[in-house]
Amino acid sequence: MKILKTFAMTGTLAIAAFSLTGCTNEIVTSDSGASSTEVTSVGLMVQDLGNPFFASMNNGVKAAAEALGATYTAQDGRQDLAVQNDQIDAFIQQGIDVLLINAVDSEGIGPAVQRAKDAGITVVAVDVGAKNADATVTTDNVEAGRLSCESLIEQIGGAGEILIVDGTPTTSIQDRMAGCEEALAAHPDVTVVGTQNGDNGRERALTLTTDMLTAHPDVVGIFGVNDPTALGATLAAQQAGKSDIVITGVDGSPEAVKEMSSTSSMFKATSAQDPNLLGATALEMAVQLRAGDTLDSDTILVPSSIVNSENVATYEGWV
């Protein structure tokens, strides 16, 4: 069965619930001079625009903003909380209507998010939670982590030593780890012999995994919290002369698909996301909030599903 572009949001993921037919374009100004219900300017902040995941998210938000006739600006947080704080302050000075934020630090960004809200900006967290945001849309990251680790456990035969390359302090990464821990709890013969926190990127994962493989040469599996991390771990295993370690990640990225298409690759599975859809949905939520409407839920979880060597040929991937 063909894998849909990350699953068309399960019955359109209640996008009908975000229908804009109830919204109004009437200009409404508060006593403080703040905010119209019309969305004329949109800003997106992401952790790292060099990551293909966030490039796809940018595509989704840009297209949705253009459809609204709104001006659009994207900012690269460069994995730096201080940078994102400065970017939010710049957006406040610009007086934008909507801010979609993919936070570097879900808790640490909270005061800056509150400043934006106090300035009349509607703030929606996308892909990861952000303290004080008006609403949130993410992948079901607990499910994604669980599926990836279940695939890993199955492919190593339910027993053996594994490594985990963790990531940054965001809700999405923490939830993936929680999901993986759920899978591991059901398989006591699988032992985690090493865990290190990376920065969600390939180069750091390469370094960390190289060190862990030196300390634990008998590992049979590695879980990376996202695809760049898992790809870095794959390169580390290759450079260490390994050929039979099972490596899994989360994202469903083009690079992961390419890697899994090689029959000799140790990268065996990834839990797919749809960053383009996440971004577009976040903006749709913001438009409805801006109009003064009530969301059916202020947190939307988009389901994930496993992509592996058996079904990768039918996976449509990102836009």
CATH of the structural domain 5-139+274-303, one choice from 2.60.40.3080, 3.20.20.370, 3.40.50.12780, 3.40.50.2300: 3.40.50.2300
What pLDDT sits at residue 274?
Answer: 95
Model confidence at 85: pLDDT above 60: yes
What pLDDT sits at residue 300?
Answer: 97
Model confidence at 74: pLDDT above 80: yes
Please state the CATH superfamily assignment of the domain spanning residues 141-272 in this structure.
Response regulator (3.40.50.2300)
What pLDDT sits at residue 5?
Answer: 40
Beta carbons of 252 and 227 less than 8 angstroms apart:
yes
Mean pLDDT of 210-216: 98
| Average per-residue pLDDT for the chain | 90
**What is the tens place of the pLDDT at every residue in 9-38?**
333 334 333 333 333 333 233 333 344 689
**What is the tens place of the pLDDT at every residue in 136-172?**
999 999 999 999 999 999 999 999 999 999 999 999 9
Mean pLDDT of 39-59: 95
- Residue 1 vs residue 173, higher pLDDT: 173
Looking at the chain, the whole-number percentage of residues with pLDDT higher than 70 is 89
- Residue 289 vs residue 21, higher pLDDT: 289
DSSP result, the chain:
-PBPGGGGHHHHTTGGGG-GGG--------TTS---SS--EEEEEES-TTSHHHHHHHHHHHHHHHHHT-EEEEEE-TT-HHHHHHHHHHHHHHT-SEEEE--SSTTTTHHHHHHHHHTT-EEEEESS--TT-SEEEEE-HHHHHHHHHHHHHHHTTT-EEEEEEE--SSHHHHHHHHHHHHHHHT-TTEEEEEEEE--SSHHHHHHHHHHHHHH-TT--EEEESSHHHHHHHHHHHHHTT----EEEEEE--HHHHHHHTSTT-SEEEEEE--HHHHHHHHHHHHHHHHTTPPPS-SEEEE---EEETTTGGGB----
Mean pLDDT of 126-133: 97
Q: What does the block give as tokens for 11?
A: 């019955």
pLDDT-wise least confident of 22-31, 97-106, 189-198: 22-31
In which band, very low, low, confident or very high, does the pLDDT at 319 lie, cut at 50, 70 and 90?
confident
What pLDDT sits at residue 76?
Answer: 97
Residue 228 to residues 18, 24, 137, 263, 319, Cα–Cα distance (Å): 32, 42, 22, 19, 18
Q: Which regions of the chain carry the CATH code 3.40.50.2300?
A: 5-139+274-303, 141-272
What pLDDT sits at residue 37?
Answer: 85
**What is the tens place of the pLDDT at every residue in 251-272?**
999 999 999 999 899 999 999 9
What pLDDT sits at residue 34?
Answer: 41
What pLDDT sits at residue 36?
Answer: 67
pLDDT-wise least confident of 10-19, 21-30, 94-103, 116-125: 21-30
